[in-house]
Structure 1
Amino acid sequence: MSRACEAQDIRPAEVPDSKTADKQAEVFEESYDSPRQAGFQPPLYLKCGPLLRFTGIDRKPRMDEPLSRDVMEIWEGSVMVVTVDAMSTYMKPPTLWLFKQTVDLQTSEAQKSAPSGHQLAAEFADPLTGQIKMSRFGKPLYVKPVGSLQERRDLSCDDNNGLFETTEDNQTATTSSNVADLYPEKRDNNQRHEVYKIIGTHLHAERGLTFWKFKLEIPLGPRETRIIYHINHGTTTSFWIPAKGQGMNVMFQSCNGFSLSVDPDPYSGPDPLWRDVLNAHQKRPFHLMIGGGDQIYNDACRVQTRYFKKWTGMKKPRPKQSLSFSAEMQEELEDFYLAHYSSWFSRGLFGMANSQIPMINIWDDHDIIDGYGSYPHNTMATPVFKGLGAVAFKYYMLFQHQSVPEETEQEEQSWLLGAEPGPYIEEFSRSIFTFLGSRVAFLGLDCRTERTRNQILCQNTWDLVLGRCKEKIVKGEVKHLIVLLGVPIAYPRLNFLENALTSKAIEPLKALGRMGILGNLFNKFDSGFEILDDLEDHWTAKHHKLERNWFIRQLQDLAAAKSVRITILGGDVHLAAVGQFYSNRKLGIPQVHDHRYMVNIISSAIVNRPPATMLANLINRRNKVHHLDKETDEDMVSMFQRDVDGKSRRNTHLLPRRNWCSLLEHNRGGLKICINVEKVQGNPAGTSVEYSFFIPTLDYREPRKLIKERLKWRRWPFLGHSAEKR
């Protein structure tokens, strides 16, 4: 099933040695040492984790039948934990035990059989109640019933007495699934189970912490399967993998944190919509969680540091731009990023989701700091800002990709590295190309590492990206390409505001900003307008518009050449929307044959505060049909005729409420998109209203064929009418 890397020469020291060697995972059919509810043995203390990562589904010839045309589909990914050395024992490296379990979903039949209008029992209305999260000591924590939670209060920071409890009460015990289902020896004494033992790889160590990685390769079977795992005999948790040939059930989210100015209490913290996600996961499991950027908000490094905070407060440009990135500043920023990542990625229900749904991520500015990449060159090129970017990149790689910056495409084939290091973050950009099954490909574009005010990716990197797509996408086999961008690419134009804020008429106001007057109206890095970096992040900003339009045409050519439907995911803007590109109506091309038809699903934010309704309405006024060229039009889809309370809405294009999205393969390569929008802000239940959208596969026809068929369609009604007369 898997090849595991076993750490060699690991001694009971504070920081184990990092030498590793490959070892085949051990397989046991009967002998199995079951997990203990008393915690990890040998002892571990988790600073963060477990975190699940997905890297792809690989197709390989069957080793047992080399002449067969049938291929094996292998799920590939990893699990990572971060342990505190002083509270952990490393006589042996941590060990992960894993086995497969094919089960029927608990709630499906009960929900189907409930009479119309009948109130479902608590376990079906909120099936997350009583489910288990692994504590830092490896003991079980039980999800509290939502009715017992205090509203409009952020409970995510309390590990033991906020959203979770250390013992099952009567209500929890009756609503939770049978814990015995998680242990093979307790389910059926006559059933034999293959149990796999995987030794942890020592990935990284610093500041008294060690990062352990368990690499997984799991053959897909004929049925959707739950994968049960535990570490060092601690409490057990699980994730799901699809059946061979099955389309993946995917969850997409972005903007998973609060801006510095936002009080989390009125929103009941970050957890309500994560509860909605995990409730949906109990009913129909997600195989993958896509993070579209801003998985973490690191903006607080500006106020929770000493040396960097002092630098941001400097008013005179020249001393600020020339100040060196000192060892003390690097040390405090590394302390901040490590502590903040460790806390946020294990906190509350997001931390629980990280252990149950494998993730695949790309980053955006807040994963570094607000606006990074979109400030003027004089700011971006300062030693301090370049040093900050290097620190953010290191921890982004560790926590969001379970990798180190030195990892290459040869070591992990899903990486799509840039052609040259970025100008400010002096690392190769890390885009991702992989497969979500046999019919759906995925491209996650790193639009931050190479970003400058004037470009998003350099031309040589664009060539590598498009070359990988052309190489890997096989015409007739791959039906859909999902392209992940941090920022929407089909969105109302905001150039009027961008032009106003960059005009010479407001130079006197900017001078006041450099003096510290007018406070929050200006950012702390170059005294420019606070909102300007957000505007210049957009693909339609004047500096990026040509690159954007070129990229869309390249996607159109790819869609035509491979007859593959392309759908784009984006976040960033803190509202729900759907943009679209399509062939000019005068061309008369049906949607199913239209290679220019590309939908941009915009789902943001799962946590952060949405914009005011007035601002969303103002942006919506900028919506109209734009002409990319003479063949391609673009506009926003009218999706939201009714609000979550059923009332009709004037603004049917943009819905400013917290939301998340699910994507399910439909009709062998098409997609069913569901944007799940928060119903009541501040309600811990996080109940959402679903807005659905279907995207068909592409059956591309050459233009000459289309012309002939359009003529044929025009004749048919006439011929039919004549035949009736005769």
Structure 2
Amino acid sequence: MNASDSHDRSAPGQGYNENLGYQQSQTAINNEQIANSSQNQNLSARSAQILIQNSGYALGNQQEDNSVPGKHGVVDIETVYHSVPSNGTFFGPYLRYKNVDVVNGVWFGSVMVVIESSDAPYFQFHPTSDITQIQAVAPRVIYQYKNYKFFRYELTIHQSRGYTDQFWTYALTLFGKTFTYQFLVAGSEETEWKFMAFSCADFSLGVSEEEREELGGVGYLWEDVMDKHKQLGGLHVMLGGGDQIYADRMWKEVASLQDWLKVKGKMNRHDYDWTPRMESDINLAYFFYYTCHFDRIGIRDCLASIPSIFQIDDHDIFDGFGSYPDYMQQSSVLRNIGRIAFHFYLLFQHQTTETILETEPDPWDLFTVTGRGWHFLKNLGPSAVILGPDTRAERALNSIIGEATHMELFHRLESLSSRVRHVVIMLAVPIVYPRLTAVENILTGIMHTKRAVNGAWNVLEKASSKVAKVVGAEHSTKKQFENVKKAFGKSGVMGSVVSGFGEVDLLDDLADHWTHKRHASERVFFVRNLQRIARDKNVRISFVSGDVHCCGMGKFFNPDAPENYQLMYQIITSAISNVPPPGPVIRLLHNSDKIYLPEINSSHKHTDTREEMIQFFENDVDGRRLDLQKLLPRRNYSIGAVLADGAMSWDLYVQKGGKYGSMEKSQKYGPLIVSPLPLDSTLLHYVNGPDGPGVEAQQRKQQMMGAPGGIYGPGGLAEDVHNLNVN
């Protein structure tokens, strides 16, 4: 639903009267403007310039841009890093979903715009079908960057009674121009919420211009999302699972980072000073990445019309952040880049700042446990919740989420209302995903021998030929290494710019995943506690993730009781914009290993919980039967919904157009039906469940949450890392 200064496009399923309703809305707005004309009189010289500009710079955002970031090397960012609002007035609007009070029937959200002016757009909103209920909202300046102000408008809406959804219209007026948008708010008793999930909304640094053009550009599937939004009568929420932007390009383009990249020696790199020039450049970089990318064709319409819930992943900072060796991760340069990245993440994706969060805590919104990282637990109607842990802020080589944060997440899930039947956990990186064991073993061997071998690159060439044979392309070793990275959502940006081989390499990229052996104990601890909560609270737990550039469905389950509380589905939706991994790597990921989830503090090979990817794709988008049916290397997004019978459904929408030569943009695969646990709790307790015979629930809880030394300390779970059992 593009903004317009001449008419209002109706929301899906609504018969908005443009000849009557919009005129009344415009009159109400204009009358209010006259009364408040003093605030709209002063137009800065820069704002006036914005209003008459029709296009941006070469790397800007005015039209779909197929130039490849980074291909020109270092650039003058003061010139190149400049974007112009496509509507000629402001960046945005960005519509955010905060939460819903299911007891009192109140919907909370906000709208944010960014404008190079002291004048805030005048904001009004009303039920789309009832202009008489129009009300104004005062703006709040939550931040200012240079001459740009971030204006946030709070929305508090009393839901319609019962099960009836209602469309709402909001209008932004400034300098004689009015932009109107519409969004959907569920009824107070409505359980059938509909939500779209995506990840990886831009191209990686190394994607060529030809690949971008062949796939139809960044916005191709975003336009399809808007089509589905209309066809389905409106989506209640949009779930951004990470990599909403790709900031990796800074390592190629920002001049002040180049000296650090050239530094030799670990301690020299660790001790390198953060400079005022770096501070200025990196702030400009993230501001540009967000304003440019969020204003692209397709994306901007979704951000304005579908209330969003966003989660951070590495590319929102830069590739692999948190999984580098300590001398890099704890260096002044990387820590300060992370600080600025999290600042702009909170601004653009959550419409807030750390200062606001710390001084004005909101029980309906983000929360922190340790002061590092912001998490959320939000209602999707009365029967479903979405939990979003921040898996980057506390990340280190041997951990993903801090111990105290794990405990608080468990506590909040244990406190859920008895009406909740589904818990969806947004994990940016999938917790169920195939391993690249052969590749890891080869690379680990190189890591142990390279220090004693002159000409380490020759060692790599020799060993990598084995990898190339595994993935089916002996003639292109280097390309296959890049392809393996793509299969795990990584670009190896730091490995390519810091060193050709040695300090940072593919092994570090693979360590970014839940399934890496470094995270095995934490993964077991996390999943086993979720099983306990699923049983005790009688809720079905599912995961939705992205990151890996291909789509698929996986699951944890008990083979002897396949529908019990241990059944947890993994929905993988990735990428909506980025390039898919190549076919040979997908073949490598289609292994037939039977993998079992160990017990906590147990060395038993066979346990009660297996994990596997589901054969979900019988045919490709062109109708050709697929031999590899577990993972599909096509751009995609997902739509989930709570059904009338209490089940949850998930469909994958996979790109069909572009190079595939179809007029349709996507093809639907699914649904995957996630049934709720039965209400009769006696059906949930199996003699041979994870408790084992004769172990009481309280003892089980103490075992899982009170391990000696916690997770990471002496005697903790991470001290004895269990490799996953392969049968």
The TM-score, its normalising length taken from structure 2, stands at 0.73
- Aligned residue type for 2:677: L
Query: Quick check: 1:439 aligned with 2:383?
Result: yes
Counterpart check, 1:567 vs 2:542: yes
What residue in structure 1 maps to residue 694 of structure 2? none
Please tell me the residue identity of whatever aligns with 2:572. Answer: I
1:479 paired residue number: 421
Say if 2:263 is the partner of 1:267: no
Confirm whether residue 523 of structure 1 aligns to residue 496 of structure 2: yes
User: Which whole-Å deviations, capped at 9, do the CAs of 1:529-578 have from their partners, x for residues lacking one?
Assistant: 54333311111101101100110011101101110011100111100111
1:457: how far off? 1.3
For residues 209 and 369 of structure 1, the distance between their equivalents in structure 2, rounded to whole angstroms, comes to: 24
Task: Give the counterpart of 2:334 among 382, 385, 389.
Answer: 385
Instruction: Supply the distance in 1 between the matched residues of 2:254 and 2:246 (Cα, whole angstroms).
Output: 15
Paired AA for residue 73 in structure 1:
G
Superposed CA offset, 1:287-325 (max 9, x none): 111000101000011112111133123343332222111
Partner Cα distance (1:598, 1:502) in 2 = 32
1:234 maps to a residue whose letter is T
- Taking the aligned partners of 2:684 and 2:158, their CA distance within structure 1 comes to 44
> Match for 2:165 among 210, 221, 224?
224
Q: Which residue of 2 aligns with 1:577?
A: 552
Distance in 2 (CA, whole Å) between partners of 1:418 and 1:218 is 26
1:30, 1:574 → 2: CA distance?
44
- Is the 8 Å Cα contact of residues 275 and 686 (structure 1) preserved in structure 2? no
How far is 1:455 from its partner? 0.6
2:311 and 2:428 in contact (8 A); partners too: yes
The answer to whether structure 1 residue 690 and structure 2 residue 635 are counterparts is: no
Residue 701 of structure 1, CA deviation:
3.6
Counterpart of 1:604 (choices 563, 574, 584) is 574
CA distance in 1, matches of 2:115, 2:25: 30
Report the CA distance shift for 1:516/1:32 in structure 2 as closer, same or farther (over 3 A): farther
Residue type matched to 1:249 in 2?
Answer: K
Structure 1 residue aligned with 2:193: 248
* Aligned pairs for 1:442-453 within 5 A: 442-453=386-397
Matches within 5 A, 1:101-116: 101-102=128-129
Query: Compared with structure 1, are the counterparts of its residues 453 and 686 closer, same or farther at alpha carbon in structure 2 (3 Å cutoff)?
Result: farther
Whole-angstrom distance in 1 between the partners of 2:266 and 2:135: 59
- Report if the CA contact (8 A) 1:676-1:689 is conserved: yes
Give the one of 179, 197, 217 matched to 1:235: 179
Distance 1:35 1:353 in 2: 30
> 2:439 matched to 1:497?
yes
The equivalent position to 2:638 in structure 1, one of 661, 683, 693, is 661
Distance in 2 (CA, whole Å) between partners of 1:388 and 1:515 is: 33
CA deviation map 1:226-251 (0-9, x unaligned): 11111125121111112222222100
Deviations 1:443-472 (A, max 9, x none): 01100000000111111111111111112x
Cα distance in 2 for partners of 1:210, 1:668 equals 46
- Output the CA distance in 2 between the equivalents of 1:551 and 1:559: 12
Distance 2:453 2:653 in 1: 41
When residues 83 and 479 of structure 1 are mapped into structure 2, their CA distance, relative to the original with a 3 A threshold, is same
Out of 342, 359, 363, the residue aligned to residue 413 of structure 1 is 363
Q: Equivalents in 1 of 2:552, 2:135: separation in Å?
A: 44
In the alignment, the residues of structure 2 paired with residue 568 and residue 256 of structure 1 have an alpha-carbon distance, to the nearest angstrom, of 19
Q: Which runs of 5+ in 1 are unaligned?
A: 1-27, 61-71, 103-183, 185-191, 422-427, 709-726
Farther-moved stretch of structure 1 (215-224 vs 654-663): 215-224
Given the alignment of the two structures, is residue 57 of structure 1 paired with residue 34 of structure 2, yes or no? no
Q: How does 1:216-365 map to 2 (within 5 A)?
A: 216-222=155-161, 223-232=164-173, 234-246=178-190, 247-263=192-208, 264-284=212-232, 285-365=234-314
Selected match of 1:82 from 114, 133, 147: 114
What CA distance in whole angstroms lies between the structure 2 residues aligned with 1:650 and 1:562? 40
> Distance between the aligned counterparts of 1:392 and 1:582, measured in 2?
38
Q: Counterpart of 1:537 in 2: which secondary structure?
A: coil
Partner of 1:649: 626
Bigger mean CA offset, 520-529 vs 194-203: 520-529
CA distance in 2, matches of 1:619, 1:507: 30
Aligned residue for 2:343, secondary structure, equals: helix
Residues 1:637 and 2:644 aligned together: no
How far 1:34 sits from its partner (Å)? 5.7
- Secondary structure (helix, strand or coil) at the match of 1:569 reads strand
Q: CA deviation at 1:597?
A: 0.4
Query: What's the secondary structure of 2:631's corresponding residue?
Result: coil
Measured after TM superposition, the shift of residue 398 of structure 1 is 0.3
Between the two proteins, what is the percent identity of the paired residues?
A: 29
Question: Residues 663 and 673 of structure 1 are in contact (CA less than 8 Å); yes or no, is this contact kept in structure 2?
Answer: yes
User: Residue by residue, what CA displacement relative to the aligned partner does 1:353-377 show, whole Å, maximum 9, x if unpaired?
Assistant: 1111111011110000011101111
State the 1:408 CA deviation: 3.0
Distance 1:704 1:561, change over 3 A: closer
Query: Cα RMSD (Å) of the superposition?
Result: 2.9
Q: Could you say what secondary structure the match of 2:517 adopts?
A: coil
Q: Distance in 2 between matches of 1:255 and 1:510?
A: 39
CA distance 1:705–1:363, shift in 2 (3 Å): closer
Q: Which is further off, 676-685 or 438-447?
A: 676-685
Residue type at the aligned position of 1:205: Q
Q: CA 1:322–1:707 in 2, change beyond 3 Å: closer, same or farther?
A: closer
Q: 1:722: which partner in 2? A: none
Q: Structure 1's 29 and 607: CA in aligned 2 closer, same or farther, altered over 3 A?
A: closer
Q: Deviations over 1:473-516 (max 9, x none)?
A: 122x1010010001000111223322322331344789757999
Q: Which moved more, 1:307-316 or 1:253-262?
A: 307-316
Is residue 497 of structure 2 the alignment partner of residue 558 of structure 1? Answer: no
Contact 1:289 1:358 in 2 (8 A): yes
Distance 1:330 1:315 in 2: 22
Alignment of 1:98 onto 2:125: yes
In the alignment, is the contact (CA less than 8 A) between 1:81 and 1:212 conserved in 2? yes
Greater percentage in strand = 1
Structure 2 contact 267–327 (Cα < 8 Å) conserved = no
Contact residue 272 and residue 684 of structure 1 kept, 8 A: no
User: Could you list the per-position Cα deviations for residues 398-427 of structure 1 after superposition, in whole angstroms to 9, with x for gaps in the alignment?
Assistant: 000000012337532244544324xxxxxx
Q: CA deviation at 1:434?
A: 1.2
Structure 2 equivalent of residue 33 of structure 1: 29
2:168 is the alignment partner of 1:215: no
Distance 1:647 1:73, change over 3 A: same
Structure-2 change in CA distance of 1:414 and 1:493 (3 Å): farther
| Counterpart code for 1:412 | D
Is 1:546 aligned with 2:521? yes
For 1:666-719, what per-residue CA distance to the aligned partner results, in whole angstroms no more than 9, with x for missing partners?
1343211000011134469661111111110112644797679xxxxxxxxxxx
The one-letter amino acid paired with 1:666 is L
Of the structure 1 ranges 232-241 and 338-347, higher mean CA displacement relative to structure 2 is found in 232-241
Inter-partner Cα distance in structure 2 for 1:704 and 1:622? 30
CA contact (8 A) 1:628 1:634 kept: no
Contact 1:272/1:686 (<8 A) preserved: no
C-alpha separation in 2, matches of 1:378 and 1:545: 23
Question: Quick one: distance in 2 between partners of 1:341 and 1:29?
Answer: 31
What is residue 138 of structure 1 aligned with on the other side? none
CA 1:685–1:485 in 2, change beyond 3 Å: closer, same or farther?
farther
CA contact (8 A) 2:269 2:327 kept: no
